[in-house]
Amino acid sequence: MSVRFRILHCLRTPVGGQFRHVHDLVEGQAEMGAEIGVICDAQAMSEETDAALNRLAENCTLGVTRVPMTRRMGFADWLTQGKIAKLAAKLDIDVLHGHGLEGGAYARLAGRRLKRKGKHTKIVYTPHGGSLDHSPASPIGRFIRMAERRLAPLTDGMIFESRFVRQLYAETVGQPACPVRIVPNGLYRHEFYESLLEDNAADFVFIGELSKAKGIDVFLEALAAHQNIFPGKAIIVGSGPDEARVRRLARKLDLGSRVSFSGVQAARTAFVRARCVVVPSREESFPYIVLEAAAARMPLIATNVGSIREIAGDVGMPLIPAGDVEALASQLRVFLADPKPFLARAAKLQARVAERFTAENMTQAVIDFYIAELGAGSYKKQAQEAVKAS
């Protein structure tokens, strides 16, 4: 069904999994006939972000706008939310969709201004999970949950990427009073294939941010454990705030000849360089790298965190406890001894992800939510009439 929504997506940093989600949603909604705009931080500047936003702009008939946004909201952010509200009013937006803690806060505060001016713009919020990973006992965790509770009355609808994030929000913030829907992330059809390997492929590859949350230190320690018995080789793909510390740890563990660092690469490029993907995370929301590895039919070793169990479903993949060096080392050794069970599970997981986690399903479900639950604009009536006509 073709729709004629005018949608403005609001997020802070145009990088990472959150941006991938917004990019795919924008592309899918534009293909359905919606007019799309994006507003994001002007201070996150790099060749990577500029290139990503230029690609995104191809699907944004309402433009890509950049304004200063900060992690710690202060007086200057009152000006920012005013700019967002002014832009949404000028573009006559039907749905203002905020992503992540900062994007969600800006969208909802701007939405309050819009409604005070008599606008009927619907305000949708997708937490994306990451902001809720902070312990409720920590100062930042308490601040985030206080902010979420105060912003909740300004929210017309919430979309969660997984049951895990939905439950986490309910337990640490409270049950949403607005309509809610769980809409998992998804991949495009062309992203499903069987990855070929280089002749000199390593045994394992880690792809992601080099940070404590991603458990890269646990992976290195697991590689070092019993290395005289099963001396596997690994490639570390990515960068991040803990890169120097991670490199020092690799040297300390005497892994110099077995671990190489290759910087940032596309997952598809990294997959051909190793036989098995390792996701040793301590914390996750809904990790795209698990979807991408599954789509490429890559053997996978992962921790039981976030929504990984929801992705794996009933394929029989033995997820390991986060932070458990010995459990991870054991799985690495099992793979090196006999990779056949891992290959069999990879084929099953690819089929499951291809059926349940597609960008097309994600886009349709979000549009359906706008219409059915929020009645944005006149589109609920439009949808009902379309259904009758068919």
pLDDT tens by residue, 68-87: 887 665 545 678 899 999 99
Token pair belonging to 197: 């390997």
- Segment 288-325, tens digit of pLDDT: 999 999 999 999 999 999 999 999 999 999 999 999 99
Name which of 278, 286, 264 is nearest 353 in CA terms. Answer: 286
Question: For residues 41 and 9, is the Cβ–Cβ distance under 8 A?
Answer: no
Q: Is the pLDDT of residue 285 over 90?
A: no
3-state secondary structure of 302: strand
Give mean pLDDT, residues 270-284: 96
Say if residue 8's pLDDT is above 60: yes
Is residue 66 helix, strand or coil? strand
Neighbours of 71 (CB within 10 A): 10
Please give the Cα distance from 12 to 228 (Å, whole number): 46
pLDDT reported for residue 309:
96
Rounded Cα distance, 366 and 387, in Å: 18
* pLDDT on residue 203: 96
Q: How far apart are CA 66 and CA 40, in angstroms?
A: 5
Does 91 have pLDDT greater than 50? yes
pLDDT surpassing 50 at residue 386: no
Q: What is the pLDDT of residue 137?
A: 73
Distance CA 349, CA 232 (A): 24
Among 336, 290, 288, 286, which Cα is nearest to 306's? 286
Q: What percent of the chain has pLDDT over 70?
A: 92
Q: Which residues contact 149 (CB under 8 A, 6 or more apart)?
A: 173, 174
**Phi then psi dihedrals of residue 48, to 5 deg:** -65, -50
Amino acid 380: pLDDT: 45
pTM of the model: 0.88
Question: What domains can you pick out in the chain, each with its CATH number?
Answer: 6-186+358-389 (3.40.50.2000), 189-356 (3.40.50.2000)
The answer on pLDDT for 124 being more than 70 is yes
Tens of pLDDT, residues 128-168? 866 677 677 777 778 888 889 999 999 999 999 999 999 99
Question: No. of H helices and E strands in the chain?
Answer: 15, 12
Using CA atoms, how far apart are residues 305 and 12, in angstroms rounded to an integer? Answer: 25
CA triplet 363, 365, 370: central angle to 5 degrees? 95
Under 8 Å CB-to-CB from 219, ≥6 apart: which residues? 204, 206, 234, 278, 280, 328
- For residue 227, the tally of other CB atoms under 10 A from its CB is 16
Q: For all residues of the chain together, what is the average pLDDT?
A: 90
Q: Is the dihedral of CA 10, 12, 17, 19 positive or negative?
A: positive
- CA–CA gap between residue 371 and residue 378 (Å, rounded): 9
